[in-house]
């Protein structure tokens, strides 16, 4: 169980990893909780990788071969169940590392992970498939100049400003006034050296999980995300502090649900995905216009996360879901 990471989602990843760990049958699997990076006073020490033992102690990981020592025995892992949200899990870095070591893992491969994690790269590719709308956007880089007025002239207002490579809506802002654009861009640059400014698309937000197990594809029932109170979109607080309703299966016309599931199924194949992946959309349900938002190649797996809820709605228990992912990744 590999969790943690170097992003603002470090603790969220650990929560997800512990959920998976607690759901697995320890009589069937010999599971170790491996944390990438150690958090001290809000700062992540990237050099500290450790095995989080059941007694709460931190024991070192040998990164040369990704092994630990347990009671004098060197443990060599058969599989890495990757639950690292953000860097270095969703961006393909860990996948490349495990490819070099010859260790199997549960997620998309290196290339797909790297491409889907960067929204500025993924969006044009999805647009090229011509199966779903993609909002217009502008990509900014921290070491290159940009013209705020030109951005507003092109995209209009409001816009969403977000790190190009990031998740959980960390440092994501809905900007309604031109004078608020630059502060939002500066905040997004604290998370990534590339920032996406994206045209606002109105509608309802829907998510759909997909996985392929032993050649059989499972397209999950869709979820509608309904932000509550003053939260205008599915921001960090809406995701993790209870300021949203997540309705699964979504209460929407069958034709819309079927379109979301069909597009998700096709994108899973076109993007060469593996494991369980979640696709997010905005849909103007009156005009029946679906717009792609993003791909989550390592979706959250905490007790109340969207994908486990969708799986349960499909009749797959949480423990069954994780066992299916493991057995498929092992090739068994």
Same domain membership, residue 264 and residue 118: yes
Strands 244-247 and 223-227: antiparallel
Same domain membership, residue 227 and residue 273: yes
CB 291 within 8 A of CB 283: yes
**Burial annotation 191-204 (CB, 10 A radius, 16+ → b, else e):** bbebbbbbbbbeeb
Same domain membership, residue 128 and residue 232: yes
**Burial annotation 14-37 (CB, 10 A radius, 16+ → b, else e):** bbbbbbbbebbeeeebebbbbbbb
Q: 240 pLDDT band (50/70/90 cuts)?
A: very low
Same domain membership, residue 153 and residue 282: no
CB 77 within 8 A of CB 97: no
In a domain, 323, yes or no: no
Same domain membership, residue 293 and residue 224: yes
Same domain membership, residue 165 and residue 142: yes
Same domain membership, residue 180 and residue 53: no
Q: Find the domain containing 8 and state its range.
A: 2-106
Nearest CA to 138 out of 91, 192, 204, 185 is that of 185
Q: How far apart are CA 5 and CA 16, in angstroms?
A: 12
Q: How many domains does the chain contain in total? A: 3
The secondary element (H helix, E strand) that includes residue 198 is: strand 194-199
At residue 191, the pLDDT reads 84
Q: How large a percentage of the chain has pLDDT more than 90?
A: 86
Residues forming beta bridges with residue 246, ordered by sequence position: 225
For the chain, report the end-to-end CA distance as a whole number of angstroms: 18
In a domain, 316, yes or no: no
Q: How many CA atoms lie within 13 A of 319 on its CB side?
A: 7
At residue 211, the pLDDT reads 98
Q: How far apart are CA 145 and CA 147, in angstroms?
A: 7
Q: Which two tokens stand for residue 304?
A: 């109340």
Q: How far apart are CA 314 and CA 153, in angstroms?
A: 45
* 172-208 pLDDT, tens digit each: 999 999 999 999 999 999 888 999 999 999 999 999 9
Q: How many residues does the chain have?
A: 332
Q: Is the pLDDT of residue 272 over 90?
A: yes
Same domain membership, residue 268 and residue 129: yes
At residue 169, the pLDDT reads 63
* 101-150 pLDDT, tens digit each: 999 999 999 999 999 999 999 999 999 999 999 999 999 999 999 999 99
Q: How far apart are CA 52 and CA 55, in angstroms?
A: 8
Q: How far apart are CA 9 and CA 300, in angstroms?
A: 10
Q: 238 pLDDT band (50/70/90 cuts)?
A: very low
Q: Is the pLDDT of residue 227 over 90?
A: no
The per-residue DSSP string of 5-17 comes to: -SSTTHHHHHHHH
* 87-100 pLDDT, tens digit each: 999 999 999 999 99
Q: How far apart are CA 222 and CA 261, in angstroms?
A: 7
The secondary element (H helix, E strand) that includes residue 224 is: strand 223-227
Nearest CA to 81 out of 94, 65, 67 is that of 94
At residue 9, the pLDDT reads 87
CB 154 within 8 A of CB 137: no
The secondary element (H helix, E strand) that includes residue 244 is: strand 244-247
In a domain, 308, yes or no: no
In a domain, 38, yes or no: yes
Q: Is the pLDDT of residue 234 over 70?
A: no
Same domain membership, residue 265 and residue 125: yes
Work out the mean pLDDT of the chain and round it to a whole number. 92
Mean per-residue pLDDT for 50-77?
Answer: 96
At residue 167, the pLDDT reads 56
At residue 243, the pLDDT reads 66
Number of neighbouring beta carbons within 10 Å of residue 118: 20
Q: What is the CATH number of the domain that holds 241?
A: 3.30.470.20
């Amino acid at each position: 169980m590999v969790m943690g990471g170097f992003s603002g989602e470090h603790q969220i990843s650990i929560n997800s990893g512990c959920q998976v760990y607690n759901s697995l049958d320890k009589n069937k699997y010999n599971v170790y909780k491996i944390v990438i990076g150690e958090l001290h006073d809000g700062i992540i020490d990237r050099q500290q990788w450790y095995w989080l033992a059941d007694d709460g102690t931190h024991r070192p990981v040998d990164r040369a071969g990704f092994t630990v020592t347990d009671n004098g025995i060197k443990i060599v892992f058969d599989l890495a169940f990757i639950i690292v949200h953000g860097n270095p899990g969703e961006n393909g870095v860990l996948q490349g590392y495990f490819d070099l070591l010859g260790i199997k893992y549960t997620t998309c491969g290196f290339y797909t992970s790297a491409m889907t994690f960067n929204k500025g790269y993924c969006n044009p590719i999805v647009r090229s498939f011509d199966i779903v709308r993609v909002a217009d956007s502008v990509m900014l880089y921290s070491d290159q100049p940009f013209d705020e007025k030109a951005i507003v002239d092109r995209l209009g207002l409001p816009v969403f400003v977000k790190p190009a490579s990031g998740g959980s809506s960390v440092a994501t802002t809905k900007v309604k006034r031109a004078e608020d654009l630059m502060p939002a861009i500066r905040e997004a640059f604290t998370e990534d050296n590339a920032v996406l400014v994206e045209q606002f698309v109105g509608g309802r937000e829907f998510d759909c999980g997909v996985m392929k197990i032993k050649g059989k594809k499972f397209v999950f029932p869709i979820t509608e995300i309904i932000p509550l109170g003053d939260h205008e979109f599915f921001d960090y607080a809406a995701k993790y502090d209870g300021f949203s309703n997540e309705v699964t299966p979504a209460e929407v016309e069958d034709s819309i649900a079927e379109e979301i599931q069909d597009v998700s199924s096709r994108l899973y194949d076109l993007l060469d995905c593996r494991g369980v992946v979640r696709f997010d959309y905005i849909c103007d349900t009156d005009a029946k216009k679906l717009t792609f938002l993003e791909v989550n190649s390592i979706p959250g797996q905490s007790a109340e996360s969207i994908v486990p809820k969708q799986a349960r709605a499909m009749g797959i228990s949480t423990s069954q879901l994780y066992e299916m992912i493991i057995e498929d990744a092992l090739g068994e």
